[in-house]
A and B are shown apart, each in its own frame.
Chain A
């Protein structure tokens, strides 16, 4: 149980285009999902907290107009990187916390984004 999927697993795009990444909880409902960014050989940096049916809460220094987050249902959150630039190339990871409110977060396998 407690599986989180991400799609796509890998994406290459041209500079200036937008890329959408999906995060799904497959066997549980998640009121809260989190989006992280991981740089090579570095730790995870929390970008934003996504709550179903409400606006996401962004961490300091993260541009909300650059990284659009939508949490339309209890099993799906999306992250859209708008007008992507090479410096946005990174590994993006989502996690989900189940409806029961337990503290454990379940992580997706990540999406590697390369912007040319």
Chain B
């Protein structure tokens, strides 16, 4: 079946450090891939997405590239800020059906000044 695996957190970084959160997936067909972010006390917000192989999604300095050969969609940011502290969820939307989202377990990021 379809599944998403994320690196376990928490990830603790100093401000301006480089961030990578690994995400790999298992899916039939050609899923779309997403990163969602959940700030403390809030609902999920779409951070970025990619709908086909080699697409790069980007937003707010975050980037992720859809790598079909390695079934990965790793999230990166060159210089994190304290305000980036949140939980990050990788997700896929399988083809067919109602485009149900399948989420990874989430990775908590804590950025310290």
Chain A interface residues toward B at CB < 8 A: 4, 6, 32, 34, 41-44, 46, 49, 51, 57, 93, 95, 97, 103-110
Contact = CB atoms under 8 A, between A and B. Distances in A.
Contacts of B44: 44, 93, 95, 107
A116 B102 CA distance: 31
Q: Interface of chain B, helix or strand or loop or mixed? A: strand
Given A93-B43, A103-B32, A107-B44, A43 B99 contact: no
B29 to A, nearest CB: 13
B99 A97 contact: yes
Contacts of B106: 41-43
B77 interface: no
Contacts of B45: 107
Contact of A105 (B101, B104, B105): B101
B89 interface: yes
Nearest to B106: A43
B42 interface: yes
B43 A110 contact: yes
B89 A32 contact: no
B42 A34 contact: no
Contact of A103 (B36, B51, B89): B51
Nearest to B36: A107
A67 B101 CA distance: 20
A103 B99 contact: yes
Contacts of B105: 42-43
A89 B38 CA distance: 20
Interface string B90-104: 000100001111111
Given A34-B101, A107-B43, 5 more contacts: A34-B100, A49-B98, A103-B32, A108-B43, A109-B42
